[in-house]
Chain A
Amino acid sequence: MAVDLENMARVFVEGLPHGRALGMKLSVIEPGAAEIEMPYAEHLIGDPQTGVIAGGAVSALMDTCCGVAVSSHPDHRSTTATLNLRIDYMRSATPGQTITTRAECYNVTRSVAFVRATAYDEDRDRPVATATGSFTAGGKK
């Protein structure tokens, strides 16, 4: 079962075209939680004057990580789609550092899954961004 979950999540993160294009790697998968890494890359730069990664790339990382956390939740275990996602940016990620996101699906109802996530660079004490979202749940099992 644990292997199935990990395989499913790995395909979801590393097998999907957009995840692959952004260089995402699944590092942790647990029931209802996931951690994904995205290495720094020049083509992800959003501010050429500072070399800081584009907020949009962090958004895509957060969205993917939240989706995986929902899909791995014991009460859901199926694909999901984002209904709504809010991201708060605390600070600029340090150029050159890998960004890691951890997402937790903390509640699943018959139709909706609720998720929160935090993104860090190598400084684990100061988050780069946080996210909260609601995702589709139920549907086809």
Chain B
Amino acid sequence: MKKPEPVQVVKQRRDSALRALVGTVPYLQFMGIEFDRRGDEVTATMPYKDELIGNPMLPALHGGATAAFMEATALMELSWQMLWSDLENGKIDVAELTPDNMPRLPKTINFTVDYLLSGLPRDAYARARVIRSGRRYATVHVEAWQDNRQKPIAQAVGHFLMPSRDA
């Protein structure tokens, strides 16, 4: 019987794959959006910075920043799930992942955001759940919150066009 891989090797592989995926997108760096991994579950964080403010009187996060954060979370969740299966069954070697041969990102068809609470000037978190992912289309739900997980500041649903995957 094959010996299980050492945990450090597994973690290192998964973390560097996630880093490679996120690191290629300039807009994520610009927004300061980060991704945290526990097993295959990914949590996105948008650390607070003044540039994210939309209403300085309140002050409140810009609704567009919240929307962008959630859309990025949905896109990364979908891409991460595609990458995860190829990674775990050995189809992709992390060491050979470069910006040019990264799997193509899905394309947003539409994205609907419900604003539930005014975004406070502090860190925001989001998690996406893939409701359905087929060969061509995927539907993803996203929830964003700040201090209290039970009180989301926004929820969103998006439909995405999946990249074609040749053999």
Contacts and interface: CB of A to CB of B under 8 A. Distances in A.
B110 interface: yes
Nearest to B72: A56
A82 B63 contact: yes
Interface stretch (B1-9, B21-29, B89-97): B21-29
Interface in A3-19: 16-19
Q: Report the contact-size class of chain B (Cβ under 8 Å from the partner).
A: 35 or more
A88 B158 CA distance: 10
Contacts of B114: 83-84
A84 B64 contact: no
Contacts of B62: 16-19, 60, 63-64
Interface string A23-63: 00000000000000000001111111100011111011111
B152 to A, nearest CB: 14
Which of B55, B64, B71, B115 is most buried by chain A, counting CB atoms within 10 A of its CB?
B64
B113 A43 contact: no
B30 A43 contact: yes
Given A64-B64, A85-B63, A59 B104 contact: no
Interface stretch (B10-18, B35-43, B46-54, B130-138): B46-54
Contacts of A55: 68, 71, 108, 111
Contact of A18 (B26, B53, B107, B108): B53
Nearest to A60: B64
A56 B69 contact: yes
A92 B106 CA distance: 12
Contacts of B100: 49
B27 A54 contact: yes
30 contacts: A16-B53, A17-B50, A17-B54, A19-B62, A43-B27, A46-B26, A46-B27, A48-B25, A49-B105, A53-B27, A54-B71, A55-B68, A55-B108, A56-B31, A59-B64, A59-B68, A60-B64, A63-B63, A63-B64, A63-B67, A79-B55, A82-B113, A82-B115, A83-B114, A84-B112, A84-B115, A85-B113, A86-B111, A87-B111, A87-B112
Interface of B: 24-27, 29-31, 50-57, 60, 62-65, 67-69, 71-72, 99-100, 102, 104-105, 107-115, 118
